[in-house]
Amino acid sequence: MSKKKCPGWSRPVQGLFIRPALTILIALLTAPSPALAADAKKPSGDVVMADFKNGCAPWDGSTIEIDIPKQVQTPALHITLWGDGVDDLAPGKSVAFSEKDDLNSKSKGSFRQCDDTGLCKATDGQLDITDFRSEDTLEGQALVPQGRTGQSIGVWFRASWHGKKIFCG
């Protein structure tokens, strides 16, 4: 029984095409699905309904504001993004906030906890984005620091767009 060869090809040339093709096929079949990776960051519990809209920074620059209502374990949250923070509104991105940079125009925004009277106080915090559709929906998790323990409580939210074009200045 003789082995068939591709006409005009030597055995080493045939291997150049078959081996890489098999390697690529195996890599594609065993690679993790991006959809599965995204689902790993999705909430397994309750999702809070929230709002996001256009706003104005104290120096009259444009912002995106996210309002998350009070929950059992967390106060109401008012998160404002400006400058580079707005650019970070993309799935898989995180924005860290620092209390000391609350109104710093070079920071990415502010993270505020609000009491029942509506008084809001700047704090450290983090915003993790899992899904974003401009002027439609924003989904993610706000990580709220808990005292001096260094631990945070995560609030999963889905925000609906309630904005309109505004002029700041």
In-domain check, residue 111 = yes
pLDDT tens for the chain, residues 1 to 169: 555 555 554 555 455 555 555 445 444 444 443 433 334 455 556 899 999 999 988 888 889 999 999 988 888 999 999 988 888 889 999 999 999 887 777 889 999 999 989 899 999 999 999 999 988 999 999 998 877 777 888 999 999 998 788 888 7
Largest CA distance in the chain: 89
Q: How many CA atoms lie within 13 A of 146 on its CB side?
A: 9
Copy the structure tokens of residue 155.
């609030």
Say how many domains are in the chain: 1
Q: What is the pLDDT of residue 135?
A: 84
Contact indicator for 37, 46 with CB cutoff of 8 Å: no
In-domain check, residue 63 = yes
HEC string of 108-150 equals CEEEEEECCCCCEEECCEEEEEEEEECCCEEEEEEEEECHHHC
In-domain check, residue 157 = yes
In-domain check, residue 156 = yes
In-domain check, residue 115 = yes
In-domain check, residue 7 = no
Domain interval for residue 154: 40-161
Q: What is the pLDDT of residue 58?
A: 81
Contact indicator for 37, 60 with CB cutoff of 8 Å: no
In-domain check, residue 11 = no
